[in-house]
Chain A
Amino acid sequence: MTAHRDSGAGPPDEYVEAEIHRLLTEDPAVAEQGITVVRTERALVLHGEVESAHRREEILRRVADRFPDVPITSDIGVVRTQAPTEIEQLP
């Protein structure tokens, strides 16, 4: 987990959570529908997986730019692309 911003501003407003969620989809630099925003006592936590490290960084940058006073914590991963090691047989 990456602590992205100091907490202490109190629980973020529910509307901020909604706005961040929409920004993640509607901002052309992000366009992610698979990121979950979870409100905790200390921060908003972003969960999910993206296709590149660049996209993960861009998400954090855009959210921090738009909501500079909101404490954000990131737990976003990059999806692995290795070949499978198992086959599912469907007789």
Chain B
Amino acid sequence: MVIRIAAVGDVHLDEDVVGRFRPALEQLPGNVDALLLAGDLTRHGTEAEARCVAREFGGLGVPVIAVLGNHDHQCDQVPQVIGALEEAGITVLEGDGVVLDCPGGRLGVAGVKGFGGGFAGRCASDFGEPEMKAFVRTTTESADRLSEALRSLDCDVLVALTHYAPVPDTLAGEPLEIYPFLGCYQLGQAVDAAPTALALHGHAHHGTERGTTPGGVRVRNVAHPVIKQAYSVFHLGDHLDQGEVSGVAAGGIQQPWS
């Protein structure tokens, strides 16, 4: 049983980027079960930019599931952004999840944008000025929504999709001083509170690809400047069937990563 996922974040689309991803995206049908987008789909979060995302990532022939990022909030047009994406058949998650029936089993994806806050021992606390308390409450409420969504899904393989990072491992390369703006440990706690197989995030352009939560869940930073390709492909399952890997190779995604 193998579930095949493609993922990328931080594509920051506007008119000047439309068409750059499409040739690679057209290799997805038949090779993956879903494409996951880890936020910052646009530059400023305008409806016009969201329509660029819809043109580039819509109508691909594979389910596309997204969360929004901080850039997608910049112009306060979130409902219009979500509307444009959903019109193109892209599922946008924020504190909820979806289960896809795939040939290799049921893939559950729970998603939330997430927020900053920092990591254990070096994080903001719900204390002091109202502004600081509001900041930390945004963090905890977001993580609570992710936790609830992850635990609500009935599936064979469970994936957590966020924009902000759930662990500091995948931030290596970023200045330590900005870690509290890149993620929070509460998202990691939510991932670990459910039988999560993989956590995907973006946001940290100078970070690194691989990390693990304290509970042992694999984390991947799929920010476009980190992966330096149109998307990364992950195969998840109890065992990996060599025949299926070969089938993928025939489609242009050539080399299994052992």
Q: Which residues of chain A in 1-55 are interfacial with respect to chain B, using CB atoms and an 8 Å cutoff?
A: 28, 31, 33-34, 36, 48-49, 51-52, 54-55
Q: Give CA–CA (A51, B20) in the complex, Å.
A: 9
B24 touches A88 (CB 8 A): no
Q: How large is the interface on B (under 10, 10 to 19, 20 to 34, 35 or more residues)?
A: 35 or more
User: Between A and B, how many residue pairs show CB distances below 8 Å?
Assistant: 101
Q: How far is the CB of B69 from chain A (nearest CB, A)?
A: 10
- Please, how many angstroms separate the alpha-carbon atoms of A49 and B204 in the complex? 12
A52 to B205, CA, bound (A): 15
Looking at chain B's contact residues, the main secondary structure is loop
Interfacial chain A residues near B220, Cβ < 8 Å: 88
Q: Can you list, as one digit per residue, whether each of A61-91 has a CB less than 8 Å from chain B (1) or not (0)?
A: 0000000000000000001111111111111
Q: Chain A residue with minimal CB distance to B182?
A: A33
Q: Does the CB pair B229–A89 fall under 8 Å?
A: no
Question: Quick check: is B27 within 8 A (CB to CB) of the other chain?
Answer: yes
Interface set of B (CB-CB < 8 Å, partner A):
10-13, 16-17, 20-21, 23-24, 27, 43-44, 71, 74, 197-198, 205-206, 218, 220, 224-225, 227-240, 245, 248, 252-258
